[in-house]
Structure formats: C-alpha cells, structure tokens
Amino acid sequence: MSKNTIKAADIRLKTDKELETRIMELRKEQFNLRFQKATGQLANTARVTAVRKEIAKITTVLGERKRKVAVKVA
C-alpha cells in the first residue's frame, strides 16, 4: 500500500460533512486526471486508481452510516 492511501479507520473518524467535501475534491481531481490522460499529459497513472479507490472507501463509509441510521429509525 502506498503512502497516499487513506485507511477506512481514518475515514470513520471524520464527519459526514468533511467526507462529502473530500469526495467533491476527489471527483474534481478524477476529472482532471481523466482530462490529462486523454491529452497525453498524465505522468502518474497510478493516481487514477488511488483516487477511484479513495472515493469508493468514503462512499462505503457514508453508506454504512446511512444504513445504520435507517435501522435505528425503523
């Protein structure tokens, strides 16, 4: 695992608002990386995968939280 990856335990310590902000940043970065790849300017191709995986981790944690709240309400 590279140094740039974030662990699920670190994600769980953040608030929903912080996570949503981070997802917005990552989606912008993902768009820019795709654009660089299309124009042949992408130097670090591994970053594409790292960004995609971090988005997936954050989305998973947010989904877990929403399901946990839904179970408590029901």
Mean pLDDT on 54-70: 94
- Structurally, the chain folds into a number of domains equal to 1
Q: How far apart are CA 26 and CA 67, in angstroms?
A: 23
Inside any domain, residue 3: no
Tell whether 32 is covered by a domain. yes
Angle between helices 46-73 and 16-39 (to 10 degrees): 150
7 within a domain of the structure (yes/no): no
Residue 8 domain flag: no
Domain range spanning residue 59? 14-73
Q: What CATH number is associated with residue 61? A: 1.10.287.310
**3-class SS at 6?**
coil
Q: What is the pLDDT of residue 1?
A: 43
**6, part of any domain:** no
- pLDDT tens-digit map of 4-56: 678 889 999 999 999 999 999 999 999 999 999 999 999 999 999 999 999 99
Residue 47 forms part of a structural domain: yes
Residues with Cβ within 8 Å of 73's Cβ and at least 6 positions away in sequence, in order, are: none
Entry pTM: 0.87
* pLDDT value for 6: 85
